[in-house]
Structure formats: structure tokens, C-alpha cells
């Protein structure tokens, strides 16, 4: 679990679609940089965000996909500096 200086947790959205939402009155903006749609989430909201799901249908086999996952150290580095190795 990657955190910043404020103790927030890095989470990414599986698609590169910028968006925003609120969890218990706290707003989060998912921003795309280096093809990663990421936001810093308060630790107490991580499980709520991880629980958000998008239902989609692939070849008549409906599945529930996790939309929000924890970022790796590489994801955070690439998002923070705008790409590269």
C-alpha cells in the first residue's frame, strides 16, 4: 500500500477516465497521468472505494469487475513524474 506524506493511500481506476465522486462528504478526483487514473484516498475510505464495482457483460458472461485497486510503487512513481522509467 503506497501512501503520501499526509497518510493518504494511492488508488487507481481500471480505465483511463477522469472522474470525481464523494465518500462520506470527502471529494476525490481521479486524474489521468501517464495512462494511470489515480487519486489519493483517506485510509478510512479505502475499503469503501475498493468495494465499488462496475457490472459489465463480456460474451454473454456478466461479471463484476473491481474498478478501484491499490497502486503499486511503480504506478505512483509514473503518475507522479508523468511517465518514464
Q: Tens digit of pLDDT for each residue in 22-54?
A: 999 999 999 999 999 999 999 999 999 998 876
Structural domains counted in the chain: 1
Q: Is residue 3 part of a domain?
A: no
Number of H helices, E strands in the chain: 2, 7
Q: Is residue 63 part of a domain?
A: yes
pTM comes to 0.83
pLDDT at 61 (0 to 100)? 56
Q: How far apart are CA 72 and CA 5, in angstroms?
A: 16
Q: Looking at residues 55-63, what average pLDDT do you find?
A: 56
Cell of 52: 465499488
**Residue 74: which domain range?**
9-81
Q: Looking at residues 57-76, what average pLDDT do you find?
A: 76
Amino acid at each position: 500500500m503506497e501512501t503520501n506524506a499526509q497518510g493518504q493511500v494511492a488508488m487507481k481506476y481500471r480505465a483511463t477516465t477522469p472522474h470525481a465522486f464523494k465518500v462520506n462528504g470527502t471529494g476525490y478526483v481521479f486524474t489521468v497521468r501517464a495512462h494511470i487514473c489515480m487519486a489519493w484516498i483517506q485510509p478510512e475510505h479505502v475499503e469503501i472505494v475498493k468495494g465499488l464495482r462496475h457490472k459489465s457483460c463480456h460474451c454473454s458472461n456478466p461479471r463484476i469487475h473491481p474498478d478501484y485497486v491499490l497502486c503499486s510503487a511503480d504506478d505512483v512513481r509514473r503518475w507522479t513524474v508523468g511517465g518514464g522509467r
